[in-house]
Amino acid sequence: MWAATTATIAHMRGVVVGIFASLLLVVGSVAPVAAEGTIDDVRVTRTEARKIVLTWTPDNDVEAYDILRDGGVVGTSDDNWFVASGLTPQTDYSFVIRSNTGAESAPLVATTAAVTPPATSIDIWWIGPKGVTLAFGFGEFEVRRDGVVIADRNGRVLRDVGLTPNTTYNYEIFPIGAAGNLGPASTQVITTRPLLSAVQGVEATLLEPGIVSVTWEPLDEPSITRYRFYVNGELQSGTARGDATSARVPVPAGVTSTVQVAAYNGGGGPLSAPVTIESGPTDPRQIGLRVHASWPGTVVLNWRNRTKWEKVFFNGEEVGLGKDGWITISDLPYNAEYDVVVRSFVNGAASESIDYPITTRTVQLFDVRNFTATATSATSIKLNWRKSAFVNFEVLRDGEPLAIVTQADVVPFFDTDVTPGTTYTYTIRQIAEGAIGESTPVSVTVTTPIAS
């Protein structure tokens, strides 16, 4: 509360003072590099000790973006933002955003923040009332801790560091007038968090490629609200409750990883000793990779996806981006063999399934059924037959090629290049590259009427 007269309080109504003992990481310095090409306004919206959040101007024609860090691809995004994690504190990184259409941004350099132990720091923020600033000329503020001045500043945020864990402090914030006079103070008492201990007895067991079971010994510290997990130094999104002693944690497939656990009470405790675990290549049966449906020339694949967008390769060549664990590949040759690989980026590293062999379906050729020829006029003959999916039809007239009727063409077929009073023999058979079996030619004869 502001210690002031009633009149002063009336002018200062609306003041909000908040003091928090949470760890609010400072935004690191960003080198101003102008973006080029179609990917514009690439910038950093948040920087932490081990994490940088990037955003850019979205393009509705782009389905996915590759994120390059220091020249190498570290992840993909189907949106206009990306969280680069697993970084080193106080380190410069160069980022480039590249779309699936080939456009690239200019490099953007960002620096991660330093690590500040949360149990030894307090972040203070406040909002100076507009009425007070205008009426009394207050633009700067004096901050005192336990009666000692620790800062004079014109900002509204202050980090007080070098404090003692689990200790109570009394803060006062005074607005400073234009003549150097102090306005009434706002006060608040806050206690720093206890300093957490390192988690002990961490063990990791491979459940399946890409998933490990992590166990640990519980800490007898009441302030713990949950446990957090680090894979290869990168903080994972999942957490466990403060009374838990085990959790399932994702790890990159096909590489050796380290797993660590840290307690959390609003601020992170020290990391446990790293435990090494090796996760082999993801078996397609483990991720559920399978042929969901197939037609001659078309294959529908689905799998248990680990990211929203994942790249699909046939015989080592990228054929498309699968979304939410699905993809349809068309215009494939019949009876063709492929080795399918699904690749995603998990924990900043490429993770892919082992080769999954598939063979595209083919068609069986048969003799054409219900083939008829009818003279509809002296100069037009209608050919009709039962169409079959996935095959084309070769039509001959008097032994000479007349037309190839594809699956997309309309039947009946009309031959309008005929002469009145003339007899023609038409022959038809099924054709399809890569098909099996044989279609015996079927013939019919028809005579056009004499023109009247």
Give me the CATH number covering residue 326.
Answer: 2.60.40.10
Asked if residue 128 and residue 15 are part of one domain, the reply reads yes
Asked if residue 122 and residue 176 are part of one domain, the reply reads yes
The residue among 306, 325, 296, 305 whose CA lies nearest residue 390 is 296
Which of these three, 306, 339, 359, is where a domain ends?
A: 359
In a domain, residue 40? The reply is yes
In a domain, residue 285? The reply is no
* Interval 319-371: pLDDT, tens: 988 888 899 998 888 888 888 888 876 544 556 676 788 888 888 888 999 99
Which of these three, 236, 252, 279, is where a domain ends?
A: 279
Asked if residue 155 and residue 13 are part of one domain, the reply reads yes
The residue among 395, 375, 379, 377 whose CA lies nearest residue 387 is 395
Domain carrying residue 142: 6-23+117-191
Which strand (E) or helix (H) includes residue 67?
Answer: strand 65-69
Separation of alpha carbons 213 and 192, rounded Å = 33
In a domain, residue 307? The reply is yes
Measure the N-to-C terminal CA separation of the chain; round to a whole number of Å. 110
Q: What is the dihedral of CA 296, 297, 298, 304, to 10 degrees?
A: 100
In a domain, residue 428? The reply is yes
The residue among 214, 141, 124, 222 whose CA lies nearest residue 176 is 141
**Cβ-based neighbours of 78, under 8 Å, separated by 6 or more:** 63, 64, 65, 308, 309, 323
In a domain, residue 53? The reply is yes
Domains in the chain, number: 5
Secondary structure of residue 11 in the 3-state scheme: helix
Asked if residue 16 and residue 159 are part of one domain, the reply reads yes
Asked if residue 122 and residue 18 are part of one domain, the reply reads yes
| Two structure tokens written together for 35 | 């973006």
Asked if residue 41 and residue 106 are part of one domain, the reply reads yes
CB neighbours of residue 285 within 10 Å: 12
* Interval 143-188: pLDDT, tens: 899 999 987 766 666 778 888 888 899 999 888 877 778 888 888 8
Which of these three, 359, 374, 393, is where a domain ends?
A: 359
Asked if residue 53 and residue 182 are part of one domain, the reply reads no
Q: Exposed/middle/buried for 415, CB within 10 Å: 0-12, 13-18, 19+?
A: buried
Asked if residue 93 and residue 167 are part of one domain, the reply reads no
Asked if residue 148 and residue 13 are part of one domain, the reply reads yes
In a domain, residue 1? The reply is no
Strands (E), 251-391: 255-264, 275-279, 290-295, 298-302, 309-314, 317-323, 326-329, 337-346, 349-352, 356-359, 364-365, 372-377, 380-384
Beta bridge partners of 140: 176
Asked if residue 308 and residue 418 are part of one domain, the reply reads no
- Whether the model clears a pTM of 0.85, i.e. scores above it, the answer is no
> What is the predicted pLDDT for the residue at 17?
37
Instruction: Pick the range with the lowest mean pLDDT from 9-23, 101-115, 297-311, 393-407.
Output: 9-23
Separation of alpha carbons 56 and 81, rounded Å = 7
In a domain, residue 452? The reply is no
* Interval 279-316: pLDDT, tens: 766 666 667 788 877 888 889 998 877 677 888 999 88
Asked if residue 158 and residue 11 are part of one domain, the reply reads yes
In a domain, residue 296? The reply is yes
